[in-house]
Structure 1
Amino acid sequence: MILKSAAEDGSALTWRKSSYSSNDGPDCVEVAATVAAVHVRDSKNAEGPRFAVAGPAWARFVAYASQG
């Protein structure tokens, strides 16, 4: 996992908000995929801390999290 500080510029990233997020609901996540990693941040604190994981690790996490 790669930790990113809020001071790093994420403006070049295209962020996608979780379909479970709402403007007045609980906090959720946004992700931005690049060739090297998937970046993750809090949708209610876009300028706050964020982290990035390698694509294969993100794919394994999503597969695990989607098991019901």
Structure 2
Amino acid sequence: MSGGGIVTRFEKSSASQGINQECVEVAHTADGGRAVRDSKNRNGGPQFYGAAAWGAFLGAVKDGRFGG
């Protein structure tokens, strides 16, 4: 869980443009972590991830550990 407030705008991936525009949005937090929210339900509130957790997630994505 991240302890920092949101310091940037939420951004969607450029891959979410076009036919399937439903995606997650990510913003930076003051402590170097990220806030993530569902673009279909922006009022549902974000989930917060600290810098180490976000880095581990990105490493797993780059390593292909999610089957995609």
The alignment's TM-score, normalised by the length of structure 2, stands at 0.67
Higher-helix-fraction structure:
2
Deviation at 1:24, TM superposition (A): 4.3
The alignment's TM-score, normalised by the length of structure 1, stands at 0.67
Question: Is the counterpart of residue 42 in structure 1 residue 1 in structure 2?
Answer: no
**Which runs of no fewer than 5 residues in structure 2 stay unpaired?**
none
d(CA) in 2 for partners of 1:23, 1:48: 24
Q: Which residue of 1 aligns with 2:24?
A: 29
d(CA) in 2 for partners of 1:49, 1:14: 14
Give the counterpart letter for 1:52 in structure 2: F
CA contact (8 A) 1:40 1:51 kept: yes
Q: Deviations over 1:35-66 (max 9, x none)?
A: 22310001122112320010121011011112
d(CA) in 1 for partners of 2:55, 2:37: 17
d(CA) in 2 for partners of 1:44, 1:65: 22
Question: Is the counterpart of residue 61 in structure 1 residue 57 in structure 2?
Answer: yes
Number of corresponding residues: 60
Higher-strand-fraction structure:
1
d(CA) in 1 for partners of 2:39, 2:11: 9
**Which runs of no fewer than 5 residues in structure 1 stay unpaired?**
3-9
d(CA) in 2 for partners of 1:45, 1:22: 17
